[in-house]
Amino acid sequence: MKDTAVPGLSTETRRGFLVLSLPAQISWQNYAGIREEVSKALSLACAGVRGTPRGGVVVDFGDAVLLDAAGLVLMARAETRAQLLGCPLRAVVPALSAHVRRALHLTGLDRLVPVFADVGSATAAPVPEAPPGEADTTHVLDAIRALHPGDAGLTPTPPAPSELMITTTAAGDGDHTVVHLSGVLDEVTVPRLGETLTKLVEGDLRHLMVRMHDRLGVRCDPLPILLGIRWRVAAEGGCLALPALPARLREIIDREGLGSVFTGCRSLEDRALSGAGAG
């Protein structure tokens, strides 16, 4: 068992799986550090998945207590990345940890991430041979917000017309493409944003920056889609930068420790914020 930089969190390898045993209490206070360790484990396990034997990552909740929504958001984000990497992700929740099992069930997380009673069964179960897919955790994040109002980040706002204006410009350096957003990001328009970014990536554009208008309405969580695009371009040496974010989205990104994830290369953000490439 190897201790990590996060107090109470340790890792070990069992039957080809990387097992992370979580601290006794999980909250936004230690969320960023735990998320970083899970991300590292997924990256390492992904390298193993592409060779042999095929393993994955097991997150062992043990006797952990969920003080807020952080542990649930952690699993939702981890599943998104696990699917994109093609890496199996499993959770261990002992039968006595009824509160954790109930939370996973009420939010639908147990339908995305297989839940086992102990590490032995989690690492013994065979890994299905299935191609990597795209995890849609939107409904899970909505359910987390319902369980923890105001705690999981973005809160509901009065309905408004679903209108999202998307324009693209060249950043002026020959490599980067700037995607400008104005209007409303909601359950109707976020998928359209995902389709637009996917088309850009499929068109061999690997260096992207999404600039959100200061009055952009954010009525649902766009991070699953943005994270998916970010991991996809990063795997090919690209980047996805998010400068000048709306305050509510900046708050959740900072709280989840994702600020360093959404940065451009070659000081793209500095150039963009100074007005370059806004043609």
- Euclidean distance between CA atoms 213 and 262, whole angstroms: 17
Q: Does the CA dihedral 230-233-238-244 come out positive or negative? A: negative
Residues 102 and 227 in one domain: no
Residues 23 and 143 in one domain: yes
Q: For residue 97, what are the domain limits?
A: 10-126+136-147
How many domains are contained in the chain? 2
Residues 203 and 247 in one domain: yes
Residues 170 and 119 in one domain: no
Q: Does the CA dihedral 5-8-12-16 come out positive or negative? A: negative
176 alpha carbon, distance to own chain's centre: 23
Mean pLDDT of 197-209: 91
Which of 147, 182, 201 is a domain's end point?
Answer: 147
Model's pTM, two decimal places? 0.62
Residues 180 and 89 in one domain: no
Note whether residue 152 is domain-resident: no
* C-alpha distances in Å from residue 19, one per residue of 25, 45, 64, 172: 18, 10, 15, 45
Note whether residue 279 is domain-resident: no
Note whether residue 249 is domain-resident: yes
Note whether residue 77 is domain-resident: yes
Q: Which of 254, 19, 252 has its CA nearest to residue 144?
A: 252
- Euclidean distance between CA atoms 90 and 114, whole angstroms: 5
33-73 pLDDT tens trace: 899 899 889 888 876 544 444 579 999 999 898 988 999 99
Which pLDDT value is given to residue 134?
Answer: 55
Mean pLDDT of 168-194: 85
Mean pLDDT of 98-109: 91
